[in-house]
Amino acid sequence: MVLIRNTEADTAIDEPEPQLQQQSSVGIDLPGFVSRRTTQLRDTLSQRSEVDSLDKSVSGEPLLSSVSHADLVAATQAVNEHWRSLYGQPPGDTVVEASMLWLARDVWSTTDASDGRPFTWSAANASMKELCSDWEQGDPSLGRVMVVAGTLEDPFATAALAERMPTLIRRFVNRFRRSRQVTSFETLESTMTVHGALKLLGLSTTAGASVTLVSIREAFKTRALEVHPDAGGSTDAMRRLNEAYRLLRELYRNR
């Protein structure tokens, strides 16, 4: 009898053991879930790191678009040919100056290359150099300005850049027409810009340079002695000088 009671007691004591094991099992599942979730997050981060590493160059900078120099050369030629077909002559200095203003005001700030920086020709060329290692910085021309504008706007479509040049030129022309309120683009060649006027009178074109009405008058008198027809100059040169003087006189009259 005692053995039976002991056996029952042992049985009574032993019966709860499966329940304890079950509770213990439930207690282990929660850390296991956390562990699996942690592993998943670690794998995701690892995959993302691998993708990021593919998007970076050896120097650690993001890989840039590889632009063909041949495409840029072809686009530059397309600009010159289209301009000649429209106006029968190569673009003059005034046209180039106007195109630079268009690039700075209407294009540069909207491109990723600007990165919030103010426009300079050097900055634009530096961005082009990053996109095309064969790009060489040179003096601005209408062809180079248009190529820079088209490339920075869409560096992944330079294969068709030459075909887009008539459209870019039309955008530039229309912008100038609106800003200057002119009806014919031929007038651009005879329209004086402030930069051109200062240059023609021999005054400083550096930003922040001191220009006064007195200095403008003195510069005009000096240049007039050089370009007047009676002094060996020409009527056209004198006309341009007068135009530059009138523009600057009105601009600096109240300064």
pLDDT score at 55: 47
**Chain segment 60-86, per-residue pLDDT in tens:** 444 455 899 999 999 999 999 999 888
121, with CB counted inside 10 A (0-12, 13-18, 19+), is middle
The answer to whether residues 184 and 84 belong to one domain is: yes
Q: Residue 107 pLDDT more than 90?
A: yes
The answer to whether residues 184 and 82 belong to one domain is: yes
**How close are the terminal C-alpha atoms of the chain, in Å?**
123
The residue to which tokens 């002695």 are assigned:
225
pLDDT band of residue 41 (cuts 50, 70, 90) is low
Total domain count, the chain: 3
CA dihedral 229, 235, 236, 239 (to 10 degrees): 100
pLDDT band of residue 196 (cuts 50, 70, 90) is confident
**Domain interval for residue 31:** 2-54
pLDDT band of residue 18 (cuts 50, 70, 90) is very low
Phi-psi domain of 11 (left: phi exceeds 0; alpha: psi -120 through 50; beta: other): alpha
Structure token pair of residue 196: 């051109």
Domain boundary among 173, 190, 207: 190
Do the domain assignments include residue 184? yes
The answer to whether residues 75 and 153 belong to one domain is: yes
Domain boundary among 54, 80, 98: 54
Give backbone dihedrals phi and psi of 175, rounded to 5 degrees, phi first.
Answer: -65, -40
Do the domain assignments include residue 63? no
The answer to whether residues 135 and 150 belong to one domain is: yes
**Chain segment 220-238, per-residue pLDDT in tens:** 999 999 988 888 888 878 8
Radius of gyration of the chain measured on its C-alpha atoms: 37
**Chain segment 117-166, per-residue pLDDT in tens:** 889 999 999 999 999 999 998 899 999 999 999 999 999 999 999 999 99
Nearest C-alpha neighbor of 203 from the set 244, 250, 242? 244
Nearest C-alpha neighbor of 223 from the set 206, 237, 205? 237
The answer to whether residues 131 and 227 belong to one domain is: no
Distance CA 201, CA 208 (A): 17
pLDDT score at 58: 42
Amino acid letter, residue 17: E
The answer to whether residues 84 and 31 belong to one domain is: no
Distance CA 134, CA 72 (A): 10
pLDDT band of residue 194 (cuts 50, 70, 90) is confident
% residues pLDDT > 90 (the chain): 33
Phi-psi domain of 60 (left: phi exceeds 0; alpha: psi -120 through 50; beta: other): left
Helix (H) or strand (E) holding 8: helix 2-14
Identify whether the C-beta of residue 152 lies closer than 8 Å to the C-beta of residue 65: no
Distance CA 171, CA 164 (A): 11
Do the domain assignments include residue 60? no
